[in-house]
Structure formats: structure tokens, C-alpha cells
Structure 1
Amino acid sequence: MLLPSVFLETKSLPPERRLSLTLFGSSRKVIYMKRFLVSVLMLCAAGLASAQANFPQQPLKIIVPFGQGATDTVGRFLAERLQEQLGQPVYVVNQPGGIGTIGTRYVADSPPDGYTMTVSNTGTHAAAPSLFTNLGYDPLNSFTHIGTFGRVFWVLQVRSDLPVKSVEEFVAYAKANPGKVNMPYYSASSRLSNYMLSKAAQIDVYEVPYKDSGQVITGLRQGDLDAAFFLFDLAAQNEQLGFIKSLAVSSPQRATIKPDLPTIAETFKGFDMSSWLGLAAAAGTPEPAAKRLRESLALALKDPRSKEWFAAHAIDVYTLSPSETQELIKRDMKVWAEFVKDANIPPVQ
């Protein structure tokens, strides 16, 4: 029987020497194995770090949690600008449903690598928690918030023959006619606008449900309605009709695209009813990827073409850092929770 050379060499040695050599050999094998594993881990870490540092290395996609409309339009424009900054294709995918919660939940459940983002907004991240009992995501903790990029405002408009020219005069008219000033709501945000104004001014208006903004315009023309809130871009178009006039905008500061229009906050301090738009990826997105996205978003918004496009679509460039975005969401969630409670709106199961 042939024996290993090490065994032959150590067989004649005293037992304690053979044990020492055996242990030494085993220890050396362990050391070699440890060194090998450390090398493998270092290579993996280096590869991961390199991939993160060179982000992105493949196409990205932005999930718009709605169908065609304002959010989709701005999402596609933003994708074009980000594509220029990132050097990779940025695709837009519409995934509507559940007032935006289905597409938003999809992004929350996506791999946290920065390649899948969503257009976060007031509805999906502030209103939804109060409107759904089983939302499926946490607006704060399920996302890596890249930041906000735009804000759309609501304009209080009245029919032209209503004898008021300012917010103060409108409030006085409403107090003189309690429960007789007809105001419509045709979306969650338009209803919240009515609620916030009524609460701030302590007036009692009669709310009428309408299907869409087109029907509201008809109601104002026919005299069935007295006042209504419209998104800024539509309000600008309404002014050209000849039978609707603007009183004030719901933003905390005057809009840069129409600085001559007063704010409701000038009459009621702290009034702020604006719908914001942002960009968010799944929670746990590596910081190098998140940083690259933040920097690219900032550069895209500084592009003169972006400023021109946003102005043409009545969207105010509105930039907040990730931490500021978190605070915005917290504040708006409280506003919506109070509104849903006071309005006795039952949440969707």
C-alpha cells in the first residue's frame, strides 16, 4: 500500500511532533481558505461598487401611475431630459388604477437598484393613506425619494356676473348668503380645495358633485354654479371664455407665470393648496445611484427648455431635497387625514 509522502516522513517522528505538524498543516489550509474567501468577497464588493459608481449601465423606466393626462405629459417630458443627463434610454410606462396606487405599489416592490422610478404626487403619497385601508406601501418608508420637480396650483374662479372681485369680497358674499353659494367638486383635490377655503374663511357653501371640469365650466356658464377651483392651466383657458374670472391662486406665493394674480394666503395666512410632483425609487436604492438621479434631475430642471416647457404648461418648477420631500409628505398626509375625517369619507377596503 502506498502512503502519502508526508505520512512516510512523519511516521518515524515522535507523536507530539506528528500532531504539531498535522495541526500546522490544517491551520495553513484554513488560512488559505480564508484568504480565498476574502479575495472573492473583495472582488464581488469591488464589482458592486463599480456598478453603482457607473450607474446607470442599462435603460431606466419611469412608472406613471395614471393614464393619459397632465402627469403622463410631464413624465414623458422629464424622461427626455433625464435621458440626456444619464446617457441611457428612459422609458415611460403607464400603470393606472386605484387613483395611482397600483403603479406606485409596483415601484415600491421593485428591486432597489434605481432603474425603476415613479412620478410621486400628492394623490399617491398624501391622499391615498387616508383613502385606502390596505394601501400596500408606506409613502415615507417604501421609497427612496429623489425629490420634487413641479407643482400645480388651483385657482379660485367665479362666474363673471357674480358681484365680487377679490377673495375678501367673495367671502363677504358667501357669509351674506350662507349655504347658497354653489361650488362643485369633481376630484379629490378640488373637494379638498373647497374644504380648505370654507374652513379658513368660516363660510358655508353648497357643494355639488360633478363628473369632470368640462361640466363645471358649463355649470358656470349657465349660472348653476357660482364659483369653482380649477388647475392653473385650465383656469388660464377659462379666462378666455368671457364668462369666468379669476380671484386668487391657492399657492403660498404668487405663481411666477402669473405674478399679478393674488394668493388666497394673502387673505388667509398659511393657506396652501397645491398638488406637487416628484420622483421616487424603491427604498434601499444605493446612495451612488440615488445621488446620480438627484444630480441628473437638478440639471434637467435647470435646462432652459425645461423652464420654458413648464411655464407653457402652467407648472411651477418646484425643487425639494429628499428630506424636504419627506416633510412635505408628512404635512400633506395630516391635511388629508383631517379632511377625510371631517368630510366623513369612508376609506376603500
Structure 2
Amino acid sequence: MTPRRALLLAPLAAPLAAPALAQQAEWRPSRPVTLVVPFAAGSGTDAVARILAQMLSQEMGGATITVDNRAGANGTIAARAVMQSPPDGQTLFVTTNTTHAANPWLLKRLDYDPINDFTPISRLGNYVFWLAVNPEVPARNLRELMALAKARPGQISYASGNGTGIVAGATIARMGGVEMLHVPYRSTPPAITDLLAGRVQSMVVDLTPSQGHVRDGRLRALGVTSGQRSALIPDVPTLAEEGLPGFDLLSFAVLLGPARMAPEATAAYGAAMRRVGAKPEYRSRLAEVGFDGMTSTPEEVGTFIREQIAAWGEMIRGAGIEPE
């Protein structure tokens, strides 16, 4: 693993100098493109990737783009698969802060370098995460949940299906001054299944797989993890408002390729993403699954990832999480 200090200072693997505009316009995938996703089907990232695959295909001359779910090991299985792929533009990575901000601090051994082993293409947007509880839990708000956890040390559990869930749950417990039981899962869908069944009491989860359950009363939402209320669910308060001042966790998705990806492919995908992002349909379709869509230049996403690695490191250390 690259030392953490070096990881933060290393230059991001950037595309080589862009070819002539005519060459950029001519490049198209020569066979079906694979979008590797580090989480299971039914997860928020899976939903985002499937929308992106359809819209990106339209901008890449109708190229076939398929989603390949490589769940497990906190996203490292998928990250290694992309890292080891030929840099010919046929394999892309739709990934999140789990692999590209949290893992450098959560794992003692990291078999990939989130900076140097990937080519940045575009930001995709931000997830909306909230703290949800099973309705059988006698807590109507965060303060009541914290009081319950204080009365029952180690008996109130929180599930996690990704890096965001791990860090947010531990931070809530630390800031609330309570002891809670962490129950990790391979991905979000099985964690939600157990939350619905009452086998775990709470979970920090994104809107995509959970908002329908909240609407139906099968889960209760106590607050969003962002520092400000989300425009997608403005009636739901923040955790900061509900008793954890300063709580602010950003969960994001980005589009990457393997390191040293062919510059003409990088340029073509970057241009296609800007066209996709200019369409109102991009934001509206993603909003339907609880995701706040956006795009960026490769340079912007590279800088953003470096900043987020530092920010997540600070939060993880503050939560007292030891790397495993």
C-alpha cells in the first residue's frame, strides 16, 4: 500500500495530452463497454450506474454499455478489477467515497492506489444518506435514539453496507457519547433486509434503496447526514439539527478508468459526460433514485478526490475507527 502521506501528495493519474479534436470525435468503443460497480444490484450505486449506462450509450454512438456488479471487501474487489483492466476505454469504474476516500483509512492493506491507479473522467454527483431505524425501535427522533442507546449500552445496533455506513455510524455513536453495536454487511441490500426484519435496529443508508420503505412506514428516517437539508427531501432535518452539531458527511460518486487510459478514449468520455450533464433528464432521473447529479472535468474530479481522502481521514480518526 502506498503510505497515506504519499497518497495525499501523489499527483493524480491524469490523461495524457488530448489529441486533435477530429481524432477525439472519431473515437468509439470497439466492443461492449463494462461499467464496474463495487456494490450489489439494488444498491444506490447500481441504480446510478444503470441510468448512466443508458444515457452515456446515447452519446457514444449507441455503444453497448453493461453494468458489472463486483461487490465485496468494501469495494476493493471492484477497484482491483478496474486497476488491472487494459487502459483501452472498454472498462470504466462507477465508484464512491468508499473506495476513493474511506478505504485508505479503514484498511491496513490496500491493494490499489486510489490516486495513481485510475484515470479521472467526471464527478457524477452526491448521494443523500439518512439515519433510518426499524419502526419497532421506540425512538421518534435522534435524541430519543441516543437516550435509548445510553440506557442500553452495546445493545442498539447499526448496520453498514459501505464505507459511508461504517464511518457515519461510528461518528454518530462518538458524537452522541453512546456505545452502539456495529454489524457490517457485504453490501446495502442484505443490510436493509435485516433492518426491515428487526434483526438490526438502525442504519445510515442512502435514499435509493430505502426511501420507498420510509414512505410505506416500514422504516423511520431520523435525519440526513449532510450539513444542510437536501433539496430532494427538504422536510427531513439534518443530524446536526437533531442534536449532533457539526455533523456533515458527503457521500459521492465518480466515473474513472484504469490508469494511463488511452487519451482519445478519456477525451471522448469526458466530452460525452459533459453532454449528458447538460441534459435536464440527467438530474431528474437521478433525483428519482435519491441522487443529486452533476458532472465535472477530469481535472476537477482529480482535485476533488485528493481533498476527500484528506477529509475522510480526519473524520475516521475523529470517530476513533482503527484500520482493519
Please classify the TM superposition score into its range, dividing by the shorter chain length: 0.7 to 0.9
Work out whether 1:301 is the aligned partner of 2:277.
yes
Out of 33, 58, 63, the position equivalent to 1:84 is 58
Amino acid aligned to 2:35: I
Distance change (3 Å), C-alpha of 1:247 and 1:285: same
- Identity across the alignment (%): 26
Amino acid aligned to 1:296: A
Work out whether 1:152 is the aligned partner of 2:153.
no
Out of 251, 255, 272, the position equivalent to 1:275 is 251
User: Hey, what's the Cα distance between the residues in 2 that align with 1:102 and 1:120?
Assistant: 12
User: Hey, what's the Cα distance between the residues in 1 that align with 2:227 and 2:73?
Assistant: 29
Out of 279, 283, 305, the position equivalent to 1:329 is 305
SS of residue paired to 1:147: strand
SS of residue paired to 1:264: coil
Distance change (3 Å), C-alpha of 1:110 and 1:176: closer
1:186-335 pair list within 5 angstroms:
186-189=160-163, 190-208=165-183, 212-219=191-198, 226-242=201-217, 244-266=219-241, 267-285=243-261, 289-334=265-310, 335=312
User: Hey, what's the Cα distance between the residues in 2 that align with 1:53 and 1:137?
Assistant: 29
Deviation of the 1:195 alpha carbon:
0.5
Partner of 2:28: 57
Partner of 2:96: 121
User: Hey, what's the Cα distance between the residues in 2 that align with 1:232 and 1:95?
Assistant: 19
The question of whether the paired residues in 2 share the 8 Å contact of 1:155 and 1:250 is answered with yes
The question of whether the paired residues in 1 share the 8 Å contact of 2:130 and 2:206 is answered with yes
User: Hey, what's the Cα distance between the residues in 2 that align with 1:140 and 1:345?
Assistant: 19
User: Hey, what's the Cα distance between the residues in 2 that align with 1:325 and 1:254?
Assistant: 24
Amino acid aligned to 2:197: T
Deviation of the 1:138 alpha carbon:
1.4
The question of whether the paired residues in 2 share the 8 Å contact of 1:310 and 1:317 is answered with yes
Gaps of 5+ in 1: 1-47
Give me the TM-score of the superposition, normalised by structure 1: 0.70
User: Hey, what's the Cα distance between the residues in 2 that align with 1:50 and 1:237?
Assistant: 45
User: Hey, what's the Cα distance between the residues in 2 that align with 1:322 and 1:87?
Assistant: 21
Partner of 1:177: 151
Out of 75, 96, 119, the position equivalent to 2:49 is 75
Deviation of the 1:336 alpha carbon:
5.4
Partner of 1:40: none
Deviation of the 1:157 alpha carbon:
2.3
* Segments ≥4 residues shifted beyond 6 Å: none
Out of 71, 74, 94, the position equivalent to 2:68 is 94
Work out whether 1:342 is the aligned partner of 2:313.
no
Distance change (3 Å), C-alpha of 1:191 and 1:64: same
User: Hey, what's the Cα distance between the residues in 2 that align with 1:57 and 1:218?
Assistant: 47
User: Hey, what's the Cα distance between the residues in 2 that align with 1:321 and 1:53?
Assistant: 16
User: Which whole-Å deviations, capped at 9, do the CAs of 1:140-187 have from their partners, x for residues lacking one?
Assistant: 12222112213223211234465654434544x257526266022242
Deviation of the 1:320 alpha carbon:
4.5
The question of whether the paired residues in 1 share the 8 Å contact of 2:134 and 2:202 is answered with yes
Number of aligned residues = 294
Amino acid aligned to 2:290: A
User: Hey, what's the Cα distance between the residues in 2 that align with 1:95 and 1:227?
Assistant: 26
Gaps of 5+ in 2: 1-18
The question of whether the paired residues in 1 share the 8 Å contact of 2:41 and 2:69 is answered with no
SS of residue paired to 1:62: strand
The question of whether the paired residues in 1 share the 8 Å contact of 2:87 and 2:257 is answered with yes
SS of residue paired to 1:128: helix
Distance change (3 Å), C-alpha of 1:218 and 1:103: closer
Deviation of the 1:214 alpha carbon:
0.9
Partner of 1:31: none
1:131-142 pair list within 5 angstroms:
131-132=106-107, 135-142=110-117
User: Hey, what's the Cα distance between the residues in 1 that align with 2:111 and 2:149?
Assistant: 43
The question of whether the paired residues in 2 share the 8 Å contact of 1:62 and 1:119 is answered with no
Deviation of the 1:78 alpha carbon:
0.9
Distance change (3 Å), C-alpha of 1:185 and 1:336: farther
Larger % of helix: which?
Answer: 1
Distance change (3 Å), C-alpha of 1:185 and 1:58: closer
The question of whether the paired residues in 2 share the 8 Å contact of 1:156 and 1:247 is answered with yes
The structure with more radius of gyration: 1
SS of residue paired to 1:257: coil
